[in-house]
Amino acid sequence: MRRVRTTCLLAALWLGAMVLPGHGARADAFADLASPQLGAVTAAISTLAASPDPQAEAALQALGERSLFAAPDGSVYIRHGESYVEARTGQPPATVPEGLKPIRLNNRIRTALAGVQAGRDLLAPQPATRLRAADALYARHDPAMLPVVEHALAVEKDAAVRTRLTEVRAATILGQPPAPDALASRLEAVRTLGAVGGAQARGILAGVAGSDAEAPALRREAQAAVSRIDWHLRAWGVAQNAFYGLSYGSVLLLAATGLAITFGVMGVINMAHGEMMMIGAYVTWMVQQAIRATVPALEPVAILVAIPVAFVVCGALGIVIERGLIRFLYGRPLETLLATWGLSLILQQAVRSIFGPTNIAVQTPGWLSGSVAVGGMDITLNRLAILVFAGLVLGGLMLVLRRTPLGLQMRAVTQNRRMAALMGIRTPRVDALAFGLGAGLAGLAGVAVSQIDNVSPNLGQSYIIDSFMVVVFGGVGNLWGTLAAALALGMGGKVLEPTIGAVSAKIAILVLVILYIQRHPRGMFPVRGRGVES
């Protein structure tokens, strides 16, 4: 049914073309395809595209396939295998002229041909194809395609495609030169495009607003639409930045929670914390390799398997470090700092010796790659996943600290070590477990970071200073403080970034934290009570 009506309409269009002096022009259009002037060629393509003549379609297709040839006299031939037919008639010529040359394609001609294809696809049976074609035409907004768009709009039934086509028509109308009698339709088009928004619409509208040939009312309307779109773009830009900030904040949160726990419970800054993250990332890689070698079917979920493995490996390593090194340095937090720094050098060099100094390729599974568009924002899935993961880790940690005996003991030791020991809490055991928990959390952070950053032996170094900042900014012994500090530092950096640049933003954040510590030497949420240092 649709096909029949389409043919009728195309026939009507064709009749119109016959009546107007367009027939002659169409005849010339074939010859124009061989013209050395690009403008003439694209005009010819537009003319032929709007023509119902089956030969026109064949000629355009041949042009796209580079099988359209021009004779020196300007006549155009299509090559089929070894033989040639005349493009205009589709008949084999009496004699094939000498000196046939293929008509060259360049980007402009390709784009024009793509537009023609899109125009044809507007009448395709699948709505998805029609929508894609409409998108392509919107991007080109070629004035010559207006009849095709109008026709497609007249027969279109699907609501979504109709909406899109209305927008395409608006863009196409505005692409035409201004004419006094078209003011109403152009005003309508400006309003439509203003409602669509986006950089493309802004470009068209700005062109209208800046053109002297347009009516003042139209220009005013276009200018207003441009300002509206600008405002929207800015607002979405801010939202996008906020998302980046949130995402970076969540990475910082993952990196800093473990550090905050060891610092809170034991008063020890673990300088090897970044290396624990690095090891977590390497564990992720090893788990992926192992799963690929044994059960390739499970490869997409290797990252999920890596989460508990990294936690256990890093946690165990943490307990070993505490038992083998840290416990000999009780009560000497600054010496512990130096010893763990030495440990971090050894771990870095060990990983470098085993896996090489270069980056290793940790896979991002398909379900974590790509992005979704929310309004004018691009939400990358891996960053979104890390945001969720950080939330889950924080929630889990809260449960451990609030609802388990270990958590209770850790909080007791954080508040007053000696009192806790007097109450029968085995503080060495709590220390070892707290250190293991902190290292395990670093391992989890490493799994997350492996999805967004380069994994090399230096990975830990790039996060350690920022994590320190989070810990001292937030204060110890309070996870809410760590959360607030991580988000504040993440967001703060990304908010400053567009105005003063990434490096200056980082410097500004560091200086702000240094100044903040002067006012609040124990961070935002200090531990209060008698057990606390002076």
Partner 1 sequence: MNPFSTRAPRSLRGVIWMAAAVVAAAGGLAAASLLPEGNPLHASVFVVSLAGKYLSYAMLALAVDLVWGFAGILTLGHAAFFALGGYAMGMYLMREIGARGVYGNASLPDFMIFLSWKSLPWYWWGSEHFAWAAVLVVAVPGLLASVFGWLAFRSRVSGVYLSIITQALTYALMLAFFQNGLGFGGNNGLTDFKDILGADLHAPLTRAVLLVATGVLLATSLLAARFVVGSRFGSLLVAVRDAESRTRFLGYRPEQAKLLVWVFSAMIAGLGGALYVTQVGIINPGEFAPANSIESVIWVAVGGRGTLCGAVLGAILVNLGKTLFTAWLPEFWLYGLGLLFICTTLFLPNGLMGLWRHVRKPPPEEVTPEVADTQGDEA
Residues interacting with partner 1, by CB under 8 A? 263, 267, 269, 325, 328-329, 331-339, 341-346, 348-350, 352-353, 417-418, 465, 468-469, 471-472, 503-504, 506-507, 510-511, 513-515, 517-519, 521-522, 531-534
CA 383 to chain centre: 10
Which CB, 80 or 418, lies closer to partner 1?
A: 418
Which CB, 242 or 510, lies closer to partner 1?
A: 510
CB of 248 to partner 1, least distance (A): 16
Which CB, 372 or 465, lies closer to partner 1?
A: 465
Place of tokens 């505005």: 174
Q: Two tokens at 502?
A: 């990434």
Q: Two tokens at 106?
A: 């360049």
CB of 357 to partner 1, least distance (A): 10
- Radius of gyration for the alpha carbons in the chain, expressed in angstroms and rounded: 34
3-state class of 378 per DSSP? strand
CB of 308 to partner 1, least distance (A): 29
Q: Two tokens at 327?
A: 């416990």
Pick from 195, 209, 189, 212: nearest CA to 141: 189
CB of 243 to partner 1, least distance (A): 24
CB of 241 to partner 1, least distance (A): 20
Which CB, 235 or 346, lies closer to partner 1?
A: 346
- Residue 283's identity, in one-letter code, is V
Query: What residues contact residue 292 under an 8 Å CB cut-off, 6+ apart?
Result: 299, 302
**Does residue 475 contact residue 527 with C-beta atoms inside 8 Å?**
yes
Which CB, 87 or 271, lies closer to partner 1?
A: 271
CB of 411 to partner 1, least distance (A): 16
Compute the distance between CA of residue 195 and CA of residue 124 in angstroms, rounded to an integer. 27
Which CB, 16 or 521, lies closer to partner 1?
A: 521
Looking at residue 529, the DSSP 8-state letter turns out to be S
Compute the distance between CA of residue 264 and CA of residue 105 in angstroms, rounded to an integer. 69
> In the chain, helix, strand, coil percent, each to 5?
75, 5, 20
Q: How many CA atoms lie within 13 A of 331 on its CB side?
A: 2
Q: Two tokens at 383?
A: 């960053």
Which CB, 137 or 271, lies closer to partner 1?
A: 271
CB of 344 to partner 1, least distance (A): 8
Which CB, 381 or 510, lies closer to partner 1?
A: 510
CB of 341 to partner 1, least distance (A): 5
